[in-house]
């Protein structure tokens, strides 16, 4: 591809559509210089879309020009919509006089954002620190809990996803992410999610923190029961343990409240925030904590225990402040609640109509998941949905669960478009079921189909064959013209 094309992309997004040959070149270069395996994985699941014309709830595939509704949103980064003009204006304005700023320096931009953010936080959470990203925020909160309590043990949940940095990876509850890097940080124990007695059995006066996602995202959209969170709060109060909520995916209106913890009324001691904190426009992340001596004393005595030059930058804080104002002004939490219940209701109807495909529908607000009967149905549905103008990905830790995490600015008409697309995708899935389901009844074949690596290889082959057929048909078409 000529360099001109990249220059053009920068100047006018309207022009950013690629020919098939150019897309192949981009992919070949991506594979060569960035990640061949990832490319294969994306292709297998029909997720190999080149995003362009990002606007509101949609983007276009630069290779086909097809419009897609974004139900993935980079797992919750675009709550305020793609390429949000108001947030971009805030960045533009900040760029006129600011850069990132020197880290750890006092700054009115950091201060303005912090003041607004803690005003929205539950209970007596009125302190914050910055971090460079989600994993870094998780590292910071585990250090904070260990440093403040002087204890070592951390309790996390099975299939939890907290990131890939040191402490965060150690708190990740899926072997898949951890296996090549053992030994990780010591002192981490894992218990089943939503199981209070398992926590009770593990928690002690050696426990520094219990960390949970109020709605598990990558694990496959599991909502924490209010009683479970209440029970965790009680255990933590009884034993002097820090309760940490990872709200990196659930924050900023995603579940129908500003923070997911508000549904239960349970106030954690410490919270992590990232992703939609800056509307998908400029990186930022935060750690929030309660106004309790054990935490404030520790931070005051150790002010540089977790610094970041990029987290809480002046530019990032201007953008993040605008995100908060935008969510409030447009009452997006209420919208997420309303649109979420419309979508969830429709998904439950579809589940009843398609018992051989959908096992369960779960979630809260616009953090919804469909669990399919078989794992291999996740990639199949991603493909079917993409063909119907919907970009939806299956969960990282549970391929049988597809997440629907649309921008929370979504309108009723757009939700209905998604529902119609899911209905159409299910119809096309049914055509394949007479072949897939009998095969899946044979345990050895089912295990094979449900194996992530085999899925990638198998679906890659199917994709190669599809691409070959497509090319063949096009060649015939050209000859006939």
Q: Which stretch binds ligand PLP (CB under 6 A): 56-64, 129-137, 191-199, 368-376?
A: 129-137
75 binds ligand PLP (CB under 6 A): yes
Stretch that binds ligand PLP, among 36-44, 159-167, 348-356, 455-463 (CB under 6 A): 159-167
Select 20 or 175, whichever has its Cβ closest to ligand PLP: 175
Interface residue with ligand PLP among 45, 56, 81, 134 (CB under 6 A) is 134
Question: Least distance in Å: CB of 275 to ligand PLP?
Answer: 7
CA distances from 299 to 116, 120, 123 (A): 20, 21, 19
CB of 133 to ligand PLP, least distance (A): 4
Query: Cβ-count burial of 239 within 10 angstroms (0-12 exposed, 13-18 middle, 19+ buried)?
Result: middle
- Regarding 268 and contact with ligand PLP (CB under 6 A), the answer is no
| Nearest-CB residue for ligand PLP | 134
* Whole-Å CA distances, 141 to 103, 134, 181, 248, 312: 19, 11, 21, 13, 16
CB of 281 to ligand PLP, least distance (A): 15
Of 49, 117, 274, 332, which lies in the binding site for ligand PLP, with binding defined by CB under 6 A? 274
**Member of 81, 101, 214, 217 binding ligand PLP (CB under 6 A):** 217
Out of 52, 107, 194, 249, the residue judged to bind ligand PLP by CB under 6 A = 249
Task: Select 133 or 253, whichever has its Cβ closest to ligand PLP.
Answer: 133
Q: How far is the CB of 397 from ligand PLP (least distance, A)?
A: 10
Exactly one of 161, 167, 190, 376 binds ligand PLP (CB under 6 A); that residue is 161
Using CB under 6 A as the binding rule, whether residue 248 contacts ligand PLP is answered as yes
Answer whether 192's CB lies under 8 Å from 198's CB: yes
Cis ω before 183 (30° cut-off from 0)? yes
> In the complex, what is the shortest distance from the CB of residue 112 to ligand PLP, in angstroms, rounded to a whole number?
23
To ligand PLP, the closest distance from the beta carbon of 438 in angstroms equals 37
Give CA–CA dist 235/228, Å, rounded: 10
In the complex, the smallest distance separating the C-beta of residue 249 from ligand PLP, rounded to whole angstroms, is: 4
| Total number of residues that touch ligand PLP (CB under 6 A) | 14
Compute the least distance from the CB of residue 12 to ligand PLP, in Å. Answer: 31
Measured CA angle at 394 (ends 391, 399), to 5 deg:
155
315 vs 358, beta carbon nearer ligand PLP: 315
Which CB sits closer to ligand PLP, 389 or 407? 407
Q: Considering only the stretches 118-126, 245-253, 320-328, 381-389, report the one whose residues sit in contact with ligand PLP under the rule CB under 6 A.
A: 245-253
Using CB under 6 A as the binding rule, the residues of this chain from 382 to 441 that contact ligand PLP are: none
133 vs 369, beta carbon nearer ligand PLP: 133
Backbone angles phi, psi at 225, to 5 degrees: -65, 145
The nearest distance, CB 102 to ligand PLP, in angstroms, is 23
Supply the minimum distance, in Å, between the C-beta of residue 73 and ligand PLP: 11
Q: Could you list the residues that contact ligand PLP (CB under 6 A)?
A: 75, 133-135, 138, 161-163, 213, 217, 246, 248-249, 274
């Amino acid at each position: 591809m000529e360099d001109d094309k990249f220059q053009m992309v920068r100047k006018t997004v309207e022009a950013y559509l690629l020919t098939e040959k150019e897309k192949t070149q981009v992919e070949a270069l991506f594979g060569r210089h960035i990640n061949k395996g990832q490319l294969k994985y994306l292709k297998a699941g029909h997720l190999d879309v080149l995003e362009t014309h990002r606007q509101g709830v949609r983007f276009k595939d630069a290779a086909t020009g097809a419009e897609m509704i974004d139900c993935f949103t980079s797992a919750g980064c675009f709550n305020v919509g793609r390429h949000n003009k108001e947030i971009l204006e805030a960045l533009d304005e900040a760029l006129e006089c600011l850069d990132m700023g020197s880290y750890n320096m006092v700054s009115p931009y950091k201060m303005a954002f912090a003041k607004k953010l803690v005003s929205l936080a539950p209970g007596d959470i009125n302190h914050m620190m910055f971090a460079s990203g989600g994993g870094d925020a998780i590292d910071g909160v585990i250090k904070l809990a260990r440093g403040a309590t002087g204890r070592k043990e951390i309790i996390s949940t099975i299939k939890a996803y907290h990131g890939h940095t040191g402490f965060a990876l150690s708190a990740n509850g899926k072997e898949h992410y951890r296996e090549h890097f053992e030994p990780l940080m010591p002192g981490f124990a894992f218990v089943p999610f939503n199981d209070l007695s398992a926590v009770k059995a593990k928690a002690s006066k050696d426990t520094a923190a219990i960390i949970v996602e109020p709605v598990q995202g990558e694990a496959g959209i599991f909502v924490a029961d209010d009683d479970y969170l209440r029970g965790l709060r009680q255990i933590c109060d009884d034993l002097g343990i820090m309760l940490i909520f990872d709200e990196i995916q659930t924050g900023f209106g995603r579940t129908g409240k500003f923070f997911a913890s508000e549904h239960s009324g349970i106030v954690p001691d410490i919270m992590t925030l990232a992703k939609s904190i800056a509307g998908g426009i400029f990186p930022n992340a935060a750690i929030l904590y309660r106004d309790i001596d054990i935490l404030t004393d520790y931070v005051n005595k150790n002010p540089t225990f977790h610094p970041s030059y990029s987290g809480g930058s002046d530019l990032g804080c201007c953008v993040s402040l605008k995100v908060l104002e935008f969510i409030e002004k447009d009452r997006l939490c209420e919208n997420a609640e309303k649109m979420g219940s419309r979508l969830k209701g429709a998904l439950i109807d579809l589940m009843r109509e398609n018992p051989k495909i959908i096992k369960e529908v779960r979630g809260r607000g616009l953090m919804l998941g469909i669990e399919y009967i078989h794992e291999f149905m996740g990639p199949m549905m991603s493909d079917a949905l993409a063909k119907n103008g919907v970009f939806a990905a299956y969960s990282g830790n549970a391929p049988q669960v597809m997440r629907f995490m649309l921008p929370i600015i979504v309108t009723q008409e757009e939700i209905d478009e998604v529902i119609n697309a899911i209905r159409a995708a299910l119809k096309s899935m049914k055509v394949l079921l007479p072949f897939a389901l009998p095969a899946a009844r044979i345990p050895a074949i089912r295990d094979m189909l449900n194996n992530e690596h085999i899925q990638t290889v198998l679906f890659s082959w199917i994709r190669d064959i599809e691409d070959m057929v497509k090319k063949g048909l096009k060649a015939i078409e050209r000859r006939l013209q």
